[in-house]
Structure 1
């Protein structure tokens, strides 16, 4: 027997947190808001009571008659032009046709609570082969999320629902879940007050909240012993919309609905959301064809001005394309080509952030090669180049770093806070992979080009110091390639640089001789230390000063070159150096016999 499907209700399609106008707003101001948000009309309210609808056509007509200063109350559509949340969607169609409206307000018990647009109806009626499958999504989430984290999300859901809000997981987690490679990087959006919801959750869990009211964001910091898989904190953000005052600058944000929040995102594959509400748990929201584009393996923007508003999306488009093995669809590629020049106007801080994200990818050379062929790298900085011969260097660097002992590897990401000066030491701290990639990229720059690059991208002092190290060390390659070098000469050339810089140099050189000398330094020369020290020099009555370091350096050189071997040899050499420097000065405790090394200042 055929089962009759229940009708879709208005509450299933409507958007909440909708922009409204005040009765006394001037028509000219209403026109500016329509232009800003791209809406064809606005509900007009008094308190929370719906008064009517003002449409773009009415506003345009009023402006044509030079009536921009009159209040919108004078041009309203009024009357029974609303629906209730429990009405079937067919009622929305009737109101639209009868009143000639492109959007219909939703009213509950006399209060305005949302809106349904013509686009909502079209998408609802358009046949799709991908039906709602909340049960399947729930099962996929159960497999992907640790039990403790899943329980925590449900508690967050309950806190939101108890306040009349909705909670969603959005963006990358949903994309990767549908791709079959889920991560635990959760982007949680509250359709309502995220800060109030976070405070309620923290109270129930005994945690605390750190919030930013300006951005509508909140972090719930958990305390005590946490179950396996449960993070130490959860971040929540209020659903919001964006407006770009000018191309290339950061947008202004305002509280909005989940639908508008998803529309502000970069690509369709990142616009999907999973609802966690009690009565909608597992429901997939896909307003903009994200799942269709995942199946087609394509990167597509939501509108034609996407790269104009935010040119860094160019860099993200290529990053996602290469990471996922997708293709940037034809129209999006055209829009990228038209917007490349706008990268020149993006702040250095934002460019650096995107470049660092690229360098943290599994195979950043693929992304850099694509950006280079596209002509995007030169717009980040004229001296930033990626040539085909760099790709094998990146791969070799990854391979070499992979064999380092686990305890010596450095897990710092480039996008993590930069360590304080002195934190990056030769012992116990291996190279940072992303920073080594960056050093490969910049090693061939001139001093002036590197200074300009560091300034333009606002590279941190510590990272810039490392890039300059590698550049200078690369300039020293000819010296390391000479046929004959004393061990002390190798030491003097290399010990001024960090172990990470020497590691990068071993990637940059094709010379077996240089690599052998680098390995010789790491395995042998770097470990040679004189047994005598400053205390010994003081015991001889040598006055403190620069002579201490010069004497100890000469002794180290002699040790490296095999000219002294035993402690007695070192002591005899020190006595000779001191005697040569101070003439007839009486040296306490001098040995009876000693070598006669050259006086200080002589070359070997």
Structure 2
């Protein structure tokens, strides 16, 4: 038996090539795959009589003597699918135009050329063999050439494709038929997919090239979608793009490239697919869209920088000092470099010393001490031959700024973390440089805010702040009210979240004030912080104005005293950098170093420095929480840098415990839906939750969930588990085992139990009883936290019925009680429960409406 194999999702080129092979070998049959393009199906219908007897299905196969591969050279895939019908004696013949990505058996007969279509190769073979071609044959053969060359507009088109088409036209090929079959027809499902792809565009910059990723979800196979991608303008402007369409856990990838150094065929071959440099595809199971994207990005980086090594980018201008050198001997060198390389007498690297630490030692009169006493040896190093792509993951995950480069154990250079990020991802920060530099140099504004302070804080708090200010002045310190409370006062809101920063010693000030007032104090001297508990129960947190440095990767921050400006500069956003001084003589003076007042007025969230989101990815979540809570927008540079940090998957290296805390804050916010929609808009949820997507259904559930939670808390005077409910609304598309892993990863152990309990009862609502009393039997043992989600995700009628039933349950004792039964002369006994349940059932079904009717019912049926 001779069989022609074509791949899943086969297009016209596969059909034309396979048909051409049947002209070369009339005994060969075309094995139809499970899925083909719509144009393939159109051609089959149009040429039904011509293809009759040439097609075969897999259940009709017998032992294969000759196996042809048409428009594919993926022998491994073909042999796997046909393993029951081929053996070592089966002859393999391939007609294909895609590059060979995996090793082929030696016995394979290869007809593989660099042409725009595989059909071209078959046409040349037919011409060479002088095989007769009828006008209908020519039309079928020319279809593949026209489709795979984009009617000769794709940059993969060759002279041979044009010559083959000319030959087929001379044989009577009908271009009107070609036009009718290839002409674009877009249906509603394809429109939906195109819309999703537009919404989900993500950019990835690789040196000077712009690459786009996008994805969509569908519940069925979408044929020919690649033919409509030209409708998305950004894709046409990109140097390359990767489109991922998830169909029930299986992801189809369509890849296109305009640049030969971005070989999408090669990249797709790593994922089990194939193609040539300009066009390729693959189908992947078992990986999320985000995981596929991350993998492709890593391959792109590896391909782009696989020949580039650290030595090409490192600075060779380093200062090397022998370990027993005294600090005073290198005094003049300390201003020339931020780090000093310490070596032994043979020049072998021992570690680094920080120039600022050495200068500080000299300032304190420490001169004769050897530099070996200041060595930091727990430090990441690289070799000159280390590939930049290999170093990137280590560098971006580390808080270390400078990385020594060693050759045979001796220092030969240094590479800077920020510089590496710029090399790998383009000079993305340069356009913002002036903005951030100017922000540091803004002349501070001073405003009298004492009246506002007294307006929005209780009198007893004002008294404590005044007295702390007096003690502060007495000790020679300056003390400031900082953080969210200042922002809220500026925005005319009340707040009691009191944070003080002390230019001096916060621990000493706290102890003395606690002693003076005889109130409790807890101190954390390592971090130079303390907490006072007032008689009324409020807390006042005090911290020494400080800046933080990291002596080596993974270390806790080294805290050093600083000015109020330095302390505020390490904050997350300008709106949180305002301070109101409470020191005696300056009480109520607001200081604005970084234009925080203007940003509050403009309703803008802005970061203070360029690497803010990369240094602390949790700020991504905080930025969107504040924006949602306050109704603010992100400043343009901040928005650009946030998008970059999300695209670089920086949340994946953030501490999972801190993500848990921030998500808890966000999901308990009053304007939680606004925050969630911002997290969706900026792709944050897509980073945290595999295959996340937002559609009308999810948006409706979220909005109804918010309203249902408010209703339950108001009607039943209970506190609903908002976090678990919203997490379920965000993850209901995932199988439980995947949800479980995410919840465990981010430490939502309470929510795991919530998900389990919901899954146990959700199937109870597939069939809804007509009577409320029967519905009550289903819901009476379900926790109200779970019922909230059931109401929000069910139709409105069911939701209203459940709430009505629960309200009646609250009124159950008011309707009829054991005391009422006793007064009717019924002696206490187990029958009480039967009577009360019976009456309540009638009440649920509307047969009893008042207490009077309930008593009459009992008298009639039980007395």
TM (norm. structure 2) is 0.44
Aligned to 2:69: none
Judged with a 3 Å threshold, the aligned counterparts in structure 2 of structure 1 residues 255 and 221 are, in CA distance, closer, same or farther, namely same
Which structure 1 residue ranges, 5 or more long, are not aligned? 1-21, 52-62, 64-121, 410-428, 532-547, 571-604
Aligned to 1:458: 747
**1:379-390 equivalent positions in 2, closer than 5 A:** 379-382=687-690, 386-390=694-698
1:405-448 CA-partner distances (Å, limit 9, x unpaired): 86943xxxxxxxxxxxxxxxxxxx34244554344334554322
8 Å contact kept, 1:301–1:332 = yes
Distance in 2 of aligned mates of 1:382 and 1:317: 22
Return the offset for 1:246: 8.6
Aligned to 2:339: 32
Judged with a 3 Å threshold, the aligned counterparts in structure 2 of structure 1 residues 514 and 556 are, in CA distance, closer, same or farther, namely farther
Of residues 440, 451, 456, the one that matches 2:729 is 440
Q: Which has the higher contact order (CA 8 A, sep 6+)?
A: 1
**1:396-415 equivalent positions in 2, closer than 5 A:** 396-402=704-710, 408-409=716-717
Of residues 588, 591, 598, the one that matches 1:285 is 591
Judged with a 3 Å threshold, the aligned counterparts in structure 2 of structure 1 residues 386 and 237 are, in CA distance, closer, same or farther, namely farther
Aligned to 1:361: 669
Judged with a 3 Å threshold, the aligned counterparts in structure 2 of structure 1 residues 124 and 250 are, in CA distance, closer, same or farther, namely closer
**1:290-439 equivalent positions in 2, closer than 5 A:** 290-340=596-646, 341-382=649-690, 386-402=694-710, 408-409=716-717, 429-439=718-728
Q: Report SS of the residue matched to 1:468.
A: helix
TM (norm. structure 1) is 0.60
Distance in 2 of aligned mates of 1:438 and 1:184: 29
Of residues 782, 788, 806, the one that matches 1:497 is 782
Judged with a 3 Å threshold, the aligned counterparts in structure 2 of structure 1 residues 200 and 127 are, in CA distance, closer, same or farther, namely closer
Return the offset for 1:201: 0.6
State the structure with more CA Rg. Answer: 2
8 Å contact kept, 2:685–2:692 = yes
Aligned to 2:453: 141
8 Å contact kept, 1:165–1:192 = yes
1:131-165 CA-partner distances (Å, limit 9, x unpaired): 532xx312221222222111101111222222222
**1:154-173 equivalent positions in 2, closer than 5 A:** 154-173=466-485
Return the offset for 1:500: 2.4
Kindly tell me the number of residue pairs found equivalent between the two proteins. Answer: 433
Judged with a 3 Å threshold, the aligned counterparts in structure 2 of structure 1 residues 202 and 567 are, in CA distance, closer, same or farther, namely farther
Return the offset for 1:182: 4.4
Judged with a 3 Å threshold, the aligned counterparts in structure 2 of structure 1 residues 521 and 219 are, in CA distance, closer, same or farther, namely closer
1:132 aligns with 2:446: yes
1:176 aligns with 2:464: no
Aligned to 2:170: none
Which structure 2 residue ranges, 5 or more long, are not aligned? 1-325, 342-351, 369-403, 405-436, 819-829, 843-856
**1:557-596 equivalent positions in 2, closer than 5 A:** none
Aligned to 1:208: 520
Judged with a 3 Å threshold, the aligned counterparts in structure 2 of structure 1 residues 524 and 222 are, in CA distance, closer, same or farther, namely closer
Judged with a 3 Å threshold, the aligned counterparts in structure 2 of structure 1 residues 32 and 286 are, in CA distance, closer, same or farther, namely farther
RMSD, aligned α-carbons: 4.6
Distance in 1 of aligned mates of 2:557 and 2:634: 28
8 Å contact kept, 2:445–2:591 = no
8 Å contact kept, 2:577–2:592 = yes
Q: Report SS of the residue matched to 2:446.
A: coil
1:308-360 CA-partner distances (Å, limit 9, x unpaired): 11111111111222222322122212211221101112232211111111122
Distance in 2 of aligned mates of 1:522 and 1:268: 47
Distance in 2 of aligned mates of 1:379 and 1:503: 27
1:255 aligns with 2:560: yes
